[in-house]
Structures are given as structure tokens and as C-alpha cells.
Structure 1
Amino acid sequence: MTFDEDIDSFKRRIADAEIQRDAWRVAGREERYLEAYFMVEALEQQLDERLRQHAAGQVPG
């Protein structure tokens, strides 16, 4: 997988997790909402880390 494909994959996963998070919020399922919220946060942190690594020349791409 290329760097661009990897980043696109993260973005798709984040978008899917945001949809799920918002659906749980609307449904009033607080525990599920929080799980989904923290999944979005984790994916965003992973994406940020990958971008930082790439900028530092630590990730080929």
C-alpha cells in the first residue's frame, strides 16, 4: 500500500466511524456513542502520527 492509499484508508475509516458515532448519539445510546467517539479520536491520532512520520521522512511514500 502506498502512502497516499494508506492516508485515504484512514480518512475513509474516520468518516465511517463519525457516521456511526453520530448515529449512536441520535439514538441516545450514550455508551455506544462514547465507544464510537473514542474510536474517531484514536483514528485521528493515528492519522496525525502517520502524517508526522511522513513529514519527518520516516515513512516511505
Structure 2
Amino acid sequence: MEIAFVKSSFCHDGGCVEAAALPLGYVVLRDSKDPEGPALVFSHEEWAAFVAGVRNGEFNFSPR
């Protein structure tokens, strides 16, 4: 089975995170500069909580 990774349309410098949907609702993330390197796998519930946090501005950190 081939996994279809996608990059954000905001990615312009090549150092991006790629995401792919896996069977049973899992999501996998990897570094586009190291596609054969380690990846992070999230359950549907974990991914949904992360996306909700992004949409709610929970990761809008102020520069120090």
C-alpha cells in the first residue's frame, strides 16, 4: 500500500511537515527533508484534538 503524503500550501523553503491518512483513521507525520526517517503516528482522536487546538489559536505563541 502506497501512503500519499501531502504538504501544506504554506511550505516554501523545503523544510516542511508532511501528513498522510492511514487505515483505521490514523494520521502519520514526517519531515519532508528526511522522508525515510522517523515518523509520528496519531490516532483519529489525537489528531482531531490537535487540529481543534490549532483552529482555536492554542499554538499562537508570542516571540520571546
Structure with higher helix content: 1
Higher RCO, Cα 8 Å, sep 6+: 1
Q: Which TM-score band applies after superposition, normalised by the shorter structure?
A: 0.3 to 0.5
TM-score, L = length of structure 1? 0.34
Structure with higher strand content: 2
Larger gyration radius, structure 1 or structure 2: 1
